[in-house]
Amino acid sequence: MTLFERFQKKDPVALSKFITYVENQSKDYEKFLSRIYPMTGKAYRIGMTGPPGSGKSTLTDKLAQKLSSQDRTVGIIAVDPTSPFTGGALLGDRIRMQALSSVKDVFIRSMASRGSKGGLAKTTKEVILVLDAFGKDYIIIETVGVGQVDLDVVDNCDTTLVVFTPESGDAIQAMKAGLMEIADIFVVNKADREGASNLIYELDSFLDLKRKKDNSFGKCWEYPVISVQATHNIGIDLLWKKIEEHKKFIQDNGIFEKKRKAQIKSEIKKLIENRIKEITEEKVKESFDIENIVEEVLAGKDDPYSASERFLREAKLI
């Protein structure tokens, strides 16, 4: 049996191999993506973001266990902001994988967002496609919502959760990082700790403004704030109920379709831009003596505007 046939027969080893292949952007990986593309579009994507240590992994695991007990398949992508050389978080993930390995049909993959290869998380979107094509019903993407890469990842989710803890400053930092703008559901985790009700109140009053603003556009998503104790499995059922409500809300109001269209559009544009950049770089290397032109410009015999136009025309790019 070929690896692709094994992938189609839902062999997790084949899934893992294809994810690595796509992650490394190995030869012809775009052809593979184009081949599996017709098999995608069924998975629902949940983004899980929030400050470090707020309980995203614990919560992701609890949700995955819940889904698995309902015979739904789950793929988890943990985008890890730490360098692959520190190892700390990877150890944490290994422990996690052991805990979840007994849970049926849950697949976990960690990706370093700032790896030695310069931003592995660039391929997160592609890994989502692979999991989708494999037939996962739900894909949970965990990121520390700080960098632009993380925000881009969240942009590709259908429902986005932001996880806070009662520890001071979380909410304010999140507002600064723009998390309040992108989240659909707000989770106050570690509700067993002091300060949880204050935080819920604080978030609720902030969100009231957002709720009113959204209403004036005819949408009326409630932006719920849910109190959770992930480690004690408290609040998970309610959280899941809200995720399903949000799913229904965006599907019924055409938001889901609009989002997908926007994602496809930006994906096509990005692919074209990347390719043009590659082609341009190749052409500059092979047929444009840029060092010499720099000298000419410095000497006042040429200027950057005419030089770039001349290059594009000669390379038949315009």
Q: How far apart are CA 51 and CA 125, in angstroms?
A: 22
Smaller CB distance to ligand GTP: residue 93 or 267? 93
Closest CA to 16 of 114, 117, 137, 97: 97
57 binds Mg ion (CB under 5 A): yes
Beta-bridged to residue 140, according to DSSP, are 46, 76
x/- map, 182-221, ligand GTP, by CB under 6 A: -------xx-xx----------------------------
User: Considering only residues 86, 231, 233, 306, which one is a binding residue for ligand GTP as defined by CB under 6 A?
Assistant: 231
Cβ count within 10 A of residue 233: 13
49 binds ligand GTP (CB under 6 A): no
Q: Judge contact between 308 and 317, C-beta under 8 A.
A: no
* CA angle 102–103–105, rounded 5-degree value: 120
**CB of residue 54 to ligand GTP, shortest distance in Å:** 4
User: Considering only residues 58, 110, 123, 156, which one is a binding residue for ligand GTP as defined by CB under 6 A?
Assistant: 58
Closest CA to 95 of 111, 110, 79, 81: 110
User: Considering only residues 230, 236, 250, 293, which one is a binding residue for ligand GTP as defined by CB under 6 A?
Assistant: 230
From the list Mg ion, ligand GTP, none, which binds 52 (C-beta under 5 to 8 Å, kind-based)?
Answer: ligand GTP
# of chain residues touching ligand GTP (CB under 6 A): 15
Smaller CB distance to ligand GTP: residue 14 or 239? 239
- The radius of gyration of the chain from alpha carbons, rounded to an integer in Å, stands at 23
Length of the chain: 318
**CB of residue 192 to ligand GTP, shortest distance in Å:** 5
